[in-house]
Every structure is written in structure tokens, then in C-alpha cells.
Amino acid sequence: MIIITGATGFIGSNLVADLNARGRTDLLLVDDLSTQGKWKNIAKRRFSNLIDYRELDALMKRLPAKADAVFHMGANSSTTSTDGDEILRVNLHSSMFWWDWCTRTGSPLIYASSAATYGDGNKDFNDDQNLDALEKLAPLNLYGWSKHQFDKWAVERAGEGNCPPQWAGMKFFNVYGPNEYHKGDMRSLVAKNTELIARGETVKLFKSHKVGYADGAQVRDFIYVKDCTAVMLWLMDKSNSSGLFNLGTGKARSFVDLMDAIGSALGKNVSIDFVDMPESIRPNYQYFTKANTDKLDSLGGMGLVQSLEEGIFDYVKLYLSQVDKYR
């Protein structure tokens, strides 16, 4: 059996789709469906059971003696959340639970960390898991802090030999792709703007409020969700690679590049209006992110990752341009 937490969410549901494509239906899904239409993310999927992560008694009864792998994708991923108790329970304590369970049962664990652990990036974006290096990172929000705390906790446990036989913390950069539609304001700009560009309407991007960056020239490391899941399954297959891994393309691309890629996929010209960035987010706004992918590349994993234009084309043509946008 394979266990996927956060299985009805964005990355989790794409993992379920890829595992089904491999012929795996012995999947224990752990999540809540909430009221955001998340059920649509797994409407086409096959699995053994779906258990609400809050129903611990039911979950414990369904856990096998050992899992082929646990993909722990479940989290409160809102970068604007201010509910510390919720973040502590959902992001930190649940991750510790799965780490301990995988350690006891000898099950591999691949879990979702985040590039938000790097804060403003002034310490670079190197997935160095030395504790001294990790201590220098300063996340800018509660979400990033929770992911960073677990990364440090995991590295400490691994250093003591108290760890699963394989563990991998995936520091996701800016992920976009099908099944993100329930995320509201946390959706990618691809999901938010494709329909506007298709209709020939003007899209809005933030002006730059930092010297050295033109309007729309703020850059991110955008990665397609299918590439993320391909790399995670590849790591599962390798089974001998553990540690913290950056999961991005290793290339920094501007928001204007992103809009142009959408326009190219649609065969449309793109009109952009630059608007002032809200004062409330300016202090913590990141102008530059780019994953250092040397560690993953040295293992051979970066050969699975597509370019921005390739990923956007697949997303726009196969999903966002269709009546049924779900994978």
C-alpha cells in the first residue's frame, strides 16, 4: 500500500493520478474534502480508501503494518495564515507523526517542505542540510517557519539514526498546474490569468518597488506540478536517496515571461497593466527566487523537469482551455 496525505489537494491529487497511471490503486488517501470542491480533484481516481485526517481512530485502524511509501503532502499551505495553533497542529505535529510512524515501520517517507523556508533568499537558495546552514535561514511567514522547523527536526533525527529507511523533504518552489483551482487567492497566476488572456483582456501585474527590477521583472522559479510528481516518484524508485532537495527548474523567470508563455500557448497577444503593490505585502515580498538544483541534478533527477514554456503549454492546452479542467 502507498499512503498519500493531502491527497485531495493540489500536489497530492496529481500524485494519485500518476500512481494510478502506473497501475497502483492500493492507495490510502488521507485528507479532508472541505467545502472547496476538492472532491473534483480525485473524481477520476481509483483508491482503496479515503480517510479524514482528523479521524485518528479510523486512520490508525486502516494503517498497514508497513507502506511501500508515504507521501506526506498534507498541510495548511496558506502563506498568509496567522493561526499559529492550526499551523502547529497541521504542519508540524502531523509531520512528526508520519516521520515516527515511518521510522517504526520501516516505510519510506517523502514529504512536502517549501522554498518559503528560505525567507527573502539573502542566504541563497541552497538545499544544504547542515544544521548550521539551516539555522541561518529566516522564513518570512508562519507557513515557512513551520516547514523550516520540521526540516531542522528531521535533519536532527536523521543525524541520530532515528529516521525512516529513506526520507526526502521536497522544497517546492512556485508550483502551477491542474487541480489547483480550489486554492482561491493561492492559485498560480497561470490559473488566474489564462481566461483573461484568452478573452483578450488586460492582465494586472505588480509594479516593482525595488531598485534594479523593472515592472513585471520580478522573477520566480516556476515548476509544473507534473514535473514535481515525476521527481518524487523517481526518488521513491531510487529508494537510496535521502535528504532535503530543492524542487524547482533551476531557472529564474519573470512574471512577464509567465504571461507571454500563456499568450503563446493560446496564440494571443498579451496586454499588461502594472499596478501598485499593496503596502501590506511590500516588506516581505520576494523579488527573486531560483532553486539551486545541483543536489538533485547530481542524482539524475533534473532530466525529468520541463521548461516554463513546455509546462505552460501542457497546462493551458490540456486543462485550462477545456470544459473539464481537472486531471
Q: What share of the chain is helix, strand, coil (3-state, %, to 5)?
A: 45, 15, 40
Going along the chain from its start, the domains and CATH numbers come out as 2-175+222-250+291-306 (3.40.50.720), 177-219+252-287+315-320 (3.90.25.10)
The catalytic residue among 40, 123, 152, 183 is 183
pLDDT attached to residue 78: 66
Angle at which helix 255-266 crosses helix 189-198, to 10 degrees, equals: 50
**pLDDT at 272 > cutoff 70:** yes
pLDDT attached to residue 60: 87
Cβ burial 211-222 (10 Å sphere, 16+ → b, else e): eeeebbbbbbbb
Comparing C-alpha atoms, which of 225, 304, 235 is closest to residue 14? 225
C-beta atoms surrounding 6 within 10 Å: 26
Instruction: Give residue-wise pLDDT tens across range 11-66.
Output: 999 999 999 999 999 999 999 888 778 999 999 999 999 999 888 788 888 899 99
Bridge partners, residue 110, by sequence: 71, 168
The catalytic residue among 118, 143, 315, 319 is 143
- Which positions ≥6 away from 148 have C-beta within 8 Å? 116, 117, 134, 137, 139
pLDDT attached to residue 278: 92
Has 66 been annotated as catalytic? Answer: no
Comparing C-alpha atoms, which of 4, 10, 72 is closest to residue 223? 10
Overall residue count recorded for the chain in this entry: 327
Contact 99, 152 (CB under 8 A): no
Share of the chain above pLDDT 90, in %: 77
- Which positions ≥6 away from 303 have C-beta within 8 Å? none
**Mean of per-residue pLDDT scores for the chain:** 93
Has 143 been annotated as catalytic? Answer: yes
Instruction: Give residue-wise pLDDT tens across range 294-311.
Output: 999 999 888 889 999 999
**Torsion sign (Cα): 141, 227, 185, 255:** positive
Spatial strand order of the sheet with 69-72 comes to: 49-51, 27-30, 2-5, 69-72, 109-114, 167-172, 243-247
- Which positions ≥6 away from 100 have C-beta within 8 Å? none
**pLDDT at 252 > cutoff 70:** yes
